[in-house]
Structure 1
């Protein structure tokens, strides 16, 4: 912006010099001029008007330059604040990411440990279940054997009861026969 201001000042000075040179080189004095005209006063008046216009243009350029500088400074301030906020957000997001990464690793480790424990527990229970199943099969075999033995013994008992009943009947018959002989 300083370069723009310097450029405007140089252009203004060149324009003033050009006008002065132009007016100074074009002074034509005619003899037939009206006797009441004062050329130097007219020249002076024109010079003052052009200098006033140049000064006004310079003032406008300065005001425009200052307005642009102020606008740019506000934009720079806003951009700087936004940049700072963005950096703060990035830092916060990095912290959050790192925290979540640590939590994830912790959960993954815990999951792995729990899966390992589950596998060990399953293996232990499968082994224990196999032992129990073996014992159950053995006990079922013994139960079948006991039932078979019990049925066999029951059958033998029934046979023996039948034999006993027959023997008791025979004994009773012999007694009756013996007692019948004793009575005679």
Structure 2
């Protein structure tokens, strides 16, 4: 269907037919329009919009700067069905501008080149800060990984040395305990041997005493007469034997008591030595327990830091995904810029054709006015 294309040149407007397509004339019409504020041979750029049939249109405009058509702003217009436009900018083109205006009127630009430069500068700064942040996070991640590796190695070496020291101390304690047990067994054996020897001595002495008593009983009558004869110079054998027995009993009792005292003293000394060694080992074990608790706390802290590093790694993966998405968007952006450039070139060609037709109309009018 033929759609009118309004063109404003030098303050005047004219309706030029152009080929278009669309659905209904009210909501889905799509057309190609050109809105110019005046022809100029300068190198300026502009932005324009289209108002067709009294219905405001949203324009995707772009400057067609160069050696000519400065001040001419071609654009591809969308119907009111498309209620939003995307801004596509580049260093050599003016921004896409959405404009609203009355029918047949000029639509001013909403985004200037300075604003476009500011927007691009802001985007570049944000991209640079984003890249710097990613680089900084990468460096921090590497530093933390190296620190974790060093701490893990130091912790492993320290645990190994502590384990070896504890194993050595435990081995020494076991040897000391075995030596104490051997000494106790030896002392018990000696005590048992002395007790058996004492019992044997008692038994032997009792047998000898009984033998002497028997011999004294057989010799009793004969000796009695002798004793009675020489009563003054004789010694009572029974009293002597009793004295000897008491002395021997005292000696035996003394030996038993000394043996028991010696055994008890040796046992007490060994127990005291073992108690001192146990107390010393317990005192040495206390700082080791404290160090073990500290190492356990350090291990838990390192585990938490490892979890944090894993979380940061997931963040780094997300950042890489965002970078890939950003590259994809940049590629899409470049493709859209290429499409816009091609459309600008096509619109410039249509502009030339329209200007040529207008010039032909003027020449034809001059020729007709000169005819008689």
The TM-score by the shorter chain falls in which range? Answer: 0.5 to 0.7
Cα deviation for residue 120 of structure 1 reads 0.6
Match of 1:115 in 2: 317
Structure 1 position 79, deviation (Å): 3.5
Structure 1 position 23 matched with structure 2 position 225: no
Q: Which of these residues, 231, 256, 271, is aligned with residue 54 of structure 1?
A: 256
Residue 247 of structure 2: aligned partner = 45
Query: SS of the residue aligned with 2:297?
Result: helix
- Larger RCO (CA under 8 A, 6+ residues apart): 1
Contact in 2 for aligned 1:12/1:58 (Cα 8 Å): no
Match of 1:105?
307
Pair member with larger Rg? 1
Q: Is 2:269 the counterpart of 1:67? A: yes
TM-score, normalised to structure 2, is: 0.30
1:79 and 2:281 are equivalent in the alignment? yes
Q: Secondary structure at the match of 1:26?
A: helix
Spell out, residue by residue over 1:136-179, the C-alpha distance to the aligned partner (whole angstroms, 9 max, x if none): 69869x99xxxxxxxxxxxxxxxxxxxxxxxxxxxxxxxxxxxx
SS in 2 for 1:115: helix
Say whether the 8 Å CA contact 2:198–2:256 is kept in structure 1.
Answer: yes
In 1, the alpha carbon distance for the partners of 2:310 and 2:199 equals: 83
Distance 2:199 2:316 in 1: 93
1:108-129 deviation digits (Å, cap 9, x = unpaired): 1112112202221232123203
* Residue 41 of structure 1: how far off its partner (Å): 2.5
Structure with bigger strand share is 2
| Per-residue deviation, 1:80 | 2.6
Give the alignment's TM-score, normalised by structure 1.
Answer: 0.55
- More deviation, 128-137/37-46: 128-137
Hey, what's the Cα distance between the residues in 2 that align with 1:46 and 1:52? Answer: 10
Q: Which runs of 5+ in 1 are unaligned?
A: 144-184
Shift of 1:17: 6.9
**Equivalent-residue separation in structure 2 for 1:87 and 1:104 (angstroms):** 25
For residue 90 of structure 1, report the CA deviation from its aligned partner. 2.8
Q: Give the distance between the partners of 2:260 and 2:310, measured in 1 at CA.
A: 72
Aligned length: 141
CA contact (8 A) 1:16 1:54 kept: yes
Residue aligning to 1:89: 291
Higher mean C-alpha displacement, 121-130 vs 63-72: 121-130
